[in-house]
Amino acid sequence: MNRKCAWIMAAVLLAQICYAQTPPAGILSEVGVDPKPGAMLPLDASFRNESGEPVRLGDYFRGKPVVLVPVYYECPMLCSLILNGFTKALRAMPYTAGREFEIVTFSFDPKEKTETAAEKRRSYLAEYGRPEAAAGWTFLTGDENSIGAVTAAMGYKFAYDHKTNQWAHASAIVVASPEGRISQYLYGIEFSARDLRLSLVTAGENKIGSLLDRVFLYCYHYDPETGKYGFVIMNVLRAAGIATVAALALLIVAGVRKGRRSEL
């Protein structure tokens, strides 16, 4: 076999492999996210936690914002990329799961077992590297009805591709308020720690976050189309002007006090 024939056969084989792993267009038309900010999540939806115990989604809404991460645990690629990118953003934040917020990762595959959920939880808690997060990050499994209720409320659409024996799905996480209302969506497989932090502050309804976070929220604007925060230049200029006036006022006050002391 000459070199040209070898390249042709390799190209044909690669095309077959790519087709086997890429969902057809018909499946992709059923996949995506229809954002529903302000929608109430079904807090009575029943699941099982990583220990196999029956729980309700509402059990994890305990006065803190909640991040919902829809995946399926045996996903060969995309879900791991989502969880890896999410964990990377978590490590870069000053806030910690279980302290300022909760994380609910759930499988949208009703056939997955709690043993698989437990294995994933152990792996990502170790990757996160913050022991206190064990009380604030759960991995759930559920039946079709509960999964369907939660994903429908989120506007999260997915479909099973029988040709590849895989789930076709979007890449997105949802940040919800302590009451269970959808606040914001973050998209992709790499998540900005800043965007995640500001989303939590917004969803937390002023119950978490520092003064610096408030300044950031004033200077940044959430774009629901991209799921990211961007500069609001006029607000940045206003904030800079206020800071300048405040600094000048402090200098004047300090100068006046210094003059009075020298007179004495």
Q: What is the pLDDT of residue 214?
A: 54
Do residues 231 and 216 touch, judged by C-beta distance below 8 A?
no
- How confident is residue 220, by pLDDT bands cut at 50, 70 and 90? low
Q: Can you say how many angstroms the Cα of residue 205 is from the centroid of all Cα atoms in its chain? A: 17
Cα separation, 138 vs 75, whole angstroms: 18
- How confident is residue 228, by pLDDT bands cut at 50, 70 and 90? low
- How many percent of the chain have pLDDT more than 90? 63
Domain range 23-208, CATH architecture:
3-Layer(aba) Sandwich (3.40)
Secondary structure element (H or E) that encloses residue 14, with its range: helix 3-21
Q: 172-204, pLDDT tens digit by residue?
A: 999 999 999 999 999 999 999 999 999 999 998
Residue 53 has pLDDT above 80, yes or no: yes
- How confident is residue 27, by pLDDT bands cut at 50, 70 and 90? confident
Cα separation, 216 vs 227, whole angstroms: 16
- How confident is residue 48, by pLDDT bands cut at 50, 70 and 90? very high
pLDDT, average across residues 59-80: 96
